[in-house]
Structure 1
Amino acid sequence: MKARISGLGHALGEQETHNHYFVDLGLETSDEWITERTGIKSRYIASEETSTSDLATKAAQHCIQNASIDKSNIDLIIVATSTPDYLSFPSTACLVQEKLKLGPIGAFDLSAACSGFSFALSTARSFIESNMYKNILVIGADCLSKITNFEDRGTCILFADGAGAALVTQTVEGETGGIIDSSLHSDGSKAELLMIPKGGSKYPLNTSITDEKSHYITMDGKGVFKSAISIVIPAIKSMLNKHNLNINDLSYLVCHQANKRILDKIANSIGLDKDKLVVNVTKYGNTSAATIPIALSELNEEKKLQKGDLILLAGFGAGFTWGLNLIEWS
């Protein structure tokens, strides 16, 4: 028995925001500057009233419809997020469970930043293969605009809001394909490359912290770029070697959509055909745990996923964390 993805859905923040928005804010930047360094032309920002659970619920509803499943058959919800509705509790997954009007099923959040969906999908796979659950809703959702300093040119141009959902179910007897393998990793020595320095239990939120804006995302852009490249490329090669695959045996490589420069560097370094590299960061920006499931959902909507396709998912992000999932589409 294997786990497989049987449905996908996604949702975006309400406000499409182009690069000129940041020029209008008075930042020392331009459309050309942002595009050259990130590849991003636009992104979607949630309204003030929209929370992570709202986007997660919309993505889940689309996923349930796509999977053609009675929602009463869902027996677990996992939400990967760095931007829960509430600081500590209740979990965003519990809020999604209520908004979907499901029964008293298990629901919990998982925190692995931009690698969150990879970690959550791996967790769901293990639950399915152990026969503990049969239909698991896995959601990657973030409203990064809520934790971004819009006076910081180095971060605010990158981050955006969105959610992607996948229904993970058991394969039926005799069915081939599914989630073939998963690999999860972390390196806490790189924690300071990408973090929110204050506002947690180490430095509880107070007025001095809000005045200095240290409760927002801070990032060492060059350090993140170098770490992502040095970590993800060997991880991809290791996964392929483990299964005696060549890079162009893949139908698609779906990496976390951090920025286009990182994606291009990865593809060039491993010799991947450009038409097999999935890129949507140009229009959606970096939505953290949502980037990979949004990309998968789009491929599915466009009917680009065919039975037997080999797909490698590669998440990476703060922590530093990274995770891979090798899938044969079924």
Structure 2
Amino acid sequence: MRTGVVLAVAGAVLGGAALTGGLLLSGDGGGPVAAAAPTQAATLRAGDLAPGDCFTALGKDNGYREVRRVDCSLRHDGEVFARVPLSVSDFPERELPPVDDLTSTAETGCADAFDEYAIDGQAVPLSVQVDYAYPDQLAWHRPAERAAVCLFTDSEGPRTGSLRQDPAHLNPEQRAYLTAENGVNKVLRMKPEDDEPAEGQKLWNDLLLSSVEGTSQRLAACQWPPAAAPAVTALRAQLDQAAGHLRASGTATGSKARKAEAAKGLSLVTSAPVTAVRRALGLTIGDGPHGDDPTDTPPDAPSDTPTGSSDT
């Protein structure tokens, strides 16, 4: 059971690949929106697609070599939700930049763009996952294709309907809450691997601290409906407690003490009691890796032993 602010990026899968001949998609596999372009007979490369386009794949040999744009109301293999520019000023090399640099930029950019396309991640089906594609050597020299393409795919196979969400359908309190929650989620999606060097772990810990403090402040600045105010107060209290541990981690002496404080802070963030807030505001309450079990209760205060956290 997951009972925290953290939500996985639509399946917690961020992966990508580049194949020969262009910007190509990889993958394994809603709210009301304006329809995408009509079905087109011509085949396209991924680099020809724009946010809001849905597509079917014409073969999946090590990725999607060719795709066909279709209306999102029809069965489709994927949906593009963002393009992340790969500027030559960031990658000045004449040849294709190292794959690690491309994938890092693509992964970060796609994670950041997620909330702009689907502001409430808990309303995204659990079977949906995020993937990305980046240019190969040939596409790198075509300016129009010098970008990473972010897309949704579904582990259960082709789907119908767009995943784009229109924030205009939310009331001001719902939008304010989701904006605050997503501030923490973006940082949690960037969590480094456990074997990341200490300096990288510290930088991320500082970033998490800043986002938790900012989220608590944004929640405090809003006028909440009476039905939601107590739940928001409880959420802020736990986030403030988490911030205390994250702050202590930054000043602790010794690796063991720093890691212990960081783990306590992260555990409090990922177990933050968001379900009551969401229920009071009329937002989706997930049940699984993306969201909260609707039967959850506020977690007990953490012990001195770090409890760890769910993988994002």
Interval of TM-score (by shorter of Structure 1 and Structure 2): 0.3 to 0.5
Higher radius of gyration, 1 or 2: 2
> What is the TM-score with the length of structure 1 in the denominator?
0.31
* TM-score normalized by the length of structure 2: 0.32
